[in-house]
Amino acid sequence: MLSDTFRRAFYRFNSNYQVVTQVVQRVLGRDVHGQAERIAWSIVIANQGLDAFVDVLLDSSEYLDNFGYSTVPYQRRRVLPGRDLGETPFNIKSPRYEAYWRGIAGFPRPIYVGAPKKVPARAARVRGGNPKDYVTWVSAMSTRTVGGGSANTAFNYLAKVPYRKV
């Protein structure tokens, strides 16, 4: 959170509100409890700086009670009892850049733009190994199953298993 890469690639491109949301999610393992908490932490960043904000979070009783000194923070409420689906992961819920910077960077980018390419003639040539070449051959085969299949229910498979007496 305090690395030069974090400051260059994330902190510089986002508002203090977005920084608070992301850091609280990653350090405390939970979402921010409303706009009031987001504003309070952004005031800490504005007055004391990012370093002091992260230090306050790491020294908080919430962090120490949940993670201590030897556990890497994780999303604590990912799976909730009584719900089939837990909370959405933080990396999906909170994108790295706000809409303004995503627009400047060109996100989301289309995968392919332009006219579709034509398939070359050499690709239409029949070669071995294509499953389409065997459809008529397989459909002509009988559907009788051999062994313990569903069509042969009278097969005594227990008699075929070797039994060793001790």
- Is the pLDDT confidence value at 98 over 80? no
22: Cβ contacts below 8 Å, ≥ 6 apart: 10, 14, 90, 94, 96
Confidence of residue 45 (pLDDT cuts 50, 70, 90): very high
What is the rounded distance in angstroms from the CA atom of residue 49 to the CA atom of residue 35? 20
What is the rounded distance in angstroms from the CA atom of residue 25 to the CA atom of residue 60? 14
What is the rounded distance in angstroms from the CA atom of residue 125 to the CA atom of residue 65? 67
Confidence of residue 152 (pLDDT cuts 50, 70, 90): low
What is the rounded distance in angstroms from the CA atom of residue 79 to the CA atom of residue 162? 46
Q: What's the pLDDT score for residue 147?
A: 52
**pLDDT tens column, 123-137:** 777 667 777 777 777
Q: What's the pLDDT score for residue 38?
A: 92
